[in-house]
Amino acid sequence: MRSSKKSKIGFGIFVTVTVLIMIFPFVWQAVTSLKSPGEIFRVPPSIFPDKLYTQNYKDVFTAGVPFHWYLRNSVIVAGLTTLICLIVGSFASYVLARFKFRGQALFLGLLLAVAMFPQVAIISPLFLFFRDIGLLNTYPGLILPYTTFALPLTIWILTSFFRELPVDLEDAALIDGCSPFQSFYRIIVPLAAPGMVTTAILVFIFAWNEFLFALIFNTANHMRTVTVGITMFPGLHEVPWGTIFAASTIITLPLVLMVLVLQKRIVQGLTAGSVKG
């Protein structure tokens, strides 16, 4: 135990460095977003803005890019993706948690396959198909693929939550004459509300952050989502970093706050599928 004090200090330094590396880029983004265009290009960069320059945040909404549309599109697409995933996913998870049926292994294999799927492998047929039936530059054109790729995660997390709920309540409901469907949405769904919240956050973040499909399917300016939108700010001579980081801060801050408040739940959800097998 001689080295305990030394190792404690070493430990503290290690933790501090880790925290700094993880946090610094996000802080730097916020700092840069509050600098004037002149100050942004100063060499070497100033650590704190000379004075808080809020014009960047106004420019986000007025500098020729309809950022409020991007925000609206992202909220709608990510919100509806989350809703559909929860509905479709909770049905599937319920039977996976409660029943043994033929084809169960096949279905689980299907989920695993999609979770490992490279999205790029299906963009050509989906693009042609969506073009032919008029789904390019629409919300469903993004919601459909997002739902597909978020379903495995949704089902894994919800199944692990449903498994932990006591079966007795459902049995009682069945004896009282509830149909399996009624016992599902009257008893299971309300009890699993915390699991639903966890799942909802993870799916929402996935859909909010997605880039490839959004870049390819929604190319009309009024249908773009925020991730594609922030790569679209026009610069006269230089990249308008101040405006870009103001926009970036706007679209990241809600996620960061949500994550900080609900961190335990999120970690629980993230690891639900992988630890139990």
Partner 1 sequence: MKSRSYLPYYFIAPAAIIIFGIALYPILHTFYISLHQINLKFPDLGMSFIWFENYIRLFRDVRAMSALLNTIFFTVSTVALELIFGMIIALLMDRALRFRGILRATVLIPWAMPTVVAAMLWRWMYNDQSGIINAILVATGVTTEYLQFLAEPALAWVAVIVTEVWKTTPFMALLLLAGLQVIPREVYEASAIDGASKIRTFFTITLPLIKPVLLVALLFRTLDAFRVFDVIFVMTGGGPGNSTESLSLYTYKTMFGALDFGYGSALSILTFVCVILISVLYIKFIGTKTR
> Which residues, 51 to 80, sit near partner 1 by CB under 8 A?
none
Is there binding between residue 191 and partner 1 (CB under 8 A)? no
CB of 91 or CB of 139, closer to partner 1: 91
Residue 3 corresponds to which tokens in the numbers above? 């080295």
How far apart (Å, rounded) are the C-alpha atoms in residues 228 and 237?
21
3-state secondary structure of 45: coil
Q: Which of 5, 25, 176, 190 binds partner 1 (CB under 8 A)?
A: 25
Our finding on whether 240 is near partner 1 (CB under 8 A) is no
- Cβ pair 196, 90 in contact under 8 A: yes
According to the binding rule CB under 8 A, does residue 137 interact with partner 1?
A: no
Calpha distance 79→198 (Å, rounded):
14
Site map (CB under 8 A) of partner 1, residues 258-277, x = contact: xxx--xx-xx--xx--xx-x
By CB under 8 A, tell whether 105 contacts partner 1: no
Q: Tell me which residue of 53, 43, 92, 40 sits closest to 235, measured CA to CA.
A: 40
Residues 149-178 vs partner 1: string with x where CB under 8 A?
x-x---x-----------------------
Residues 172 and 217 sit within 8 Å (Cβ to Cβ):
no
Answer positive or negative: Cα dihedral of 73, 76, 79, 85: negative
Which one of 75, 80, 114, 197 is in contact with partner 1 (CB under 8 A)? 114
Question: Is 252 near partner 1 (CB under 8 A)?
Answer: yes
When binding is defined by CB under 8 A, the residue of 78, 86, 142, 244 that contacts partner 1 is 244
